[in-house]
Amino acid sequence: MKRAIACTILALSLGAAAARPAALQQAAAPTGGRDAMPDLSGLWDGGARARPVNSDAVPWVKGKNFPELNERALAYVKIFDEAISPKYDCQPSSSPAIQYDPYMMDVTQWPDRVLFRYEKDDQLRTVWLDGRKPTPLDFGLQGFSVGRYENGALLVETTNFVFDITGFDDYNGIPSSSQKKVTERYWRDGEDLRVTVTVADPMFLRKPASYTTRWIRARPGLKLSAFECDPEAARASIKFLPPKYK
């Protein structure tokens, strides 16, 4: 008898534990109105099927949304040498470049956070929804992201970046500083996922710059591929670059 009662209690406890995440998800997801949570979850394709591949003129177009650089940034761009780019040491891209890299992205929505896993550079970004604030120990290449749902969109603000000699993009030699702030607005447009990315950095930009892009649903059965960067092979490719300094 005692054994049967114990088994019943254990079964009830396991059932309650299994149901708890779903209950939390339901409680955290507004049912409608201003703070309605859009469905951003799933695997999204940011490759050539979805948008033009990035380059020195994409997504930053001269004469349109290309950033207005101050004298400090212009000086960095003038002396920049491709051979010192940290990508040749397998350093990952950061915002606002990583959102446009032509790879897939997996989005997971939890009650207290949204997880963005990028196929490019195998990077994971966490957007905290629970109101926490960054500390002086939270500086890093991807910064510290907080967000909220508003008007059917996810709004994200990222600060606490470290200095990056190519922190703006991979093509124009524009750096970014620890004062960089990146804001993102994600929303669903039919079957597509769209984002507007805006970057402000008073150390290098005269005013904020932004672009808007989209992802499409990945084909059924696809998964993120491992991004394997070998530092020795990446650094060896520098010998094929035209030397700027000797």
| Residue 64 neighbours by CB under 8 Å, 6+ apart | none
Q: Which two tokens stand for residue 161?
A: 């970046």
Q: Is the pLDDT of residue 240 over 60?
A: yes
Q: Is the pLDDT of residue 173 over 60?
A: yes
Residue among 114, 118, 135, 132 at smallest CA distance from 185: 114
Could you tell me the pLDDT band of residue 32, with boundaries at 50, 70 and 90? low
Residue among 122, 93, 91, 101 at smallest CA distance from 58: 101
Q: Is the pLDDT of residue 135 over 70?
A: yes
Extents of the domains making up the chain: 1-30, 42-240
Asked if omega into 96 is within 30° of 0 (cis), the reply is yes
Q: Is the pLDDT of residue 151 over 60?
A: yes
